[in-house]
A and B are shown apart, each in its own frame.
Chain A
């Protein structure tokens, strides 16, 4: 379960006919996880994921999930963080979390939630984000709206599906949230859960930093593509965790990867022979991040060369150099941590 969705092929779920799926649907105050975060509680007692990092809070969710697995159904569990338990775990900022807990028959294709997760995963595999709309009370139902416009499932009424699709279109841009839908004289609350494909990190330069990057990026749900012109460097032996290894003309390989805001290109060859052609290929594309290893002085020199070729200041300003957050590290794994920290900051909107 790398993206929070139920994955029927996940080994931990193969012997779990039913699970309780807990989803953080709303939070106020200081919470450590984003809305949409999930935890799966299996009938066997298995736990996957967590809706908070606070042990006492997750413990209450697990307790409620265990009860729900026996009784069935679904409920929203509201937990105050402004109580004794919160003090015990250091959550002194206060606030509340609302967690939707629902029983899901994992391998039953007519289970609306299980089917919705299959559809959402298919959308992610196509490189499209998807929104799963589900009611917070009453019978289980789910509608999946993909970025490309495809829909799967239903919330029970075509008029409700239409209104939910409109909201989902906004959620695709602005993120997961609860929203009401008024229909036939009643108002019902729905959670709109945005799921996005993982960031793809294109690593140009198959050196030691790249080796550390591919190992660590996996833990952060990032795909990695290692690119180099040297067969002897870009090998599977050196990069067992890379999703792809591509050898050839780096600028052509990078240009062949479909650009999107979820693509980050990390230039760590530290060699202008790759940097200049790759930057020429990238600076007018829509990739979400371009970073280059090197000092500020070196970065300025590269920008000056590209400015001579007609690149604008706005285009050149897209190059993050020195790459990564300044954490003072020098070793390849430390530099990798710094680069990944910056990519996480970009992914979470903390850095442009």
Chain B
């Protein structure tokens, strides 16, 4: 088994930060329109820092693993720094790139986090 696959499966079986964030200050929902992945990313931002980040998803293993590592990473991070996290960081964290055609599964949580930060104005510092 490749490292990528092992990491994805571990996060899929034991996702970090899964579940609603009751006192979120920003939230966004994203979907992959054809495969059907759906995710909601919620953050609580105070003084320009992401105090907490959680996600809720009906999604595939790659998407859930990506959301798991991403929310772990951005907790405690300045919003301006979190806005710089990119797909390359996600793939490095998962120790590999998804197969062709599944890249969107891995980037959906990131796109959704960015929308949550931008739509709420949190990222405009």
Q: A residues engaging B (CB < 8 A)?
A: 228-233, 248-252, 269, 271-274, 277-278, 305, 308
Of A249, A271, A272, A273, the residue contacting B40 (CB under 8 A) is A249
* 29 intermolecular pairs with C-beta atoms under 8 Å apart: A229-B36, A229-B58, A230-B31, A230-B33, A230-B36, A231-B31, A231-B33, A232-B33, A232-B34, A248-B38, A249-B38, A249-B40, A249-B57, A250-B38, A251-B58, A269-B36, A271-B36, A272-B60, A273-B35, A273-B36, A273-B37, A273-B58, A273-B59, A273-B60, A273-B63, A274-B58, A277-B57, A277-B58, A305-B13
Task: Give B68 Cβ to nearest chain A Cβ, in Å.
Answer: 15
CB <8 Å contact, A230 and B34: yes
> Max chain A CB contacts within 10 Å: which of B35, B36, B40, B58?
B58
**4 residue pairs, one from A and one from B, having the closest CB atoms:** A229-B38, A229-B36, A277-B58, A273-B60
Rounded to whole angstroms, the CA-CA distance of A103 and B40 in the bound complex is 59
Rounded to whole angstroms, the CA-CA distance of A308 and B9 in the bound complex is 14
Rounded to whole angstroms, the CA-CA distance of A249 and B19 in the bound complex is 13
CB <8 Å contact, A249 and B33: no
B80 within 8 A of A: no
Chain B positions 12-57 with a Cβ under 8 Å from a chain A Cβ = 13, 29, 31, 33-38, 40, 56-57
Smallest CB-CB separation from A228: which chain B residue? B36
Task: Give A283 Cβ to nearest chain B Cβ, in Å.
Answer: 16
Q: Which residues of A contact B31 (CB under 8 A)?
A: 229-231
Rounded to whole angstroms, the CA-CA distance of A200 and B36 in the bound complex is 24
Smallest CB-CB separation from B39: which chain A residue? A249
Q: Which residues of B contact A251 (CB under 8 A)?
A: 58
Q: Which residues of A contact B37 (CB under 8 A)?
A: 229, 273
Task: Give A96 Cβ to nearest chain B Cβ, in Å.
Answer: 54
Q: Which residues of B contact A229 (CB under 8 A)?
A: 31, 36-38, 58
CB <8 Å contact, A249 and B36: no
Q: Which residues of A contact B33 (CB under 8 A)?
A: 230-232
Given A233-B36, A249-B56, 15 more pairs with CB closer than 8 A: A228-B36, A229-B36, A229-B37, A229-B38, A230-B31, A230-B36, A231-B31, A248-B38, A249-B57, A249-B58, A250-B58, A273-B35, A273-B37, A273-B60, A277-B57
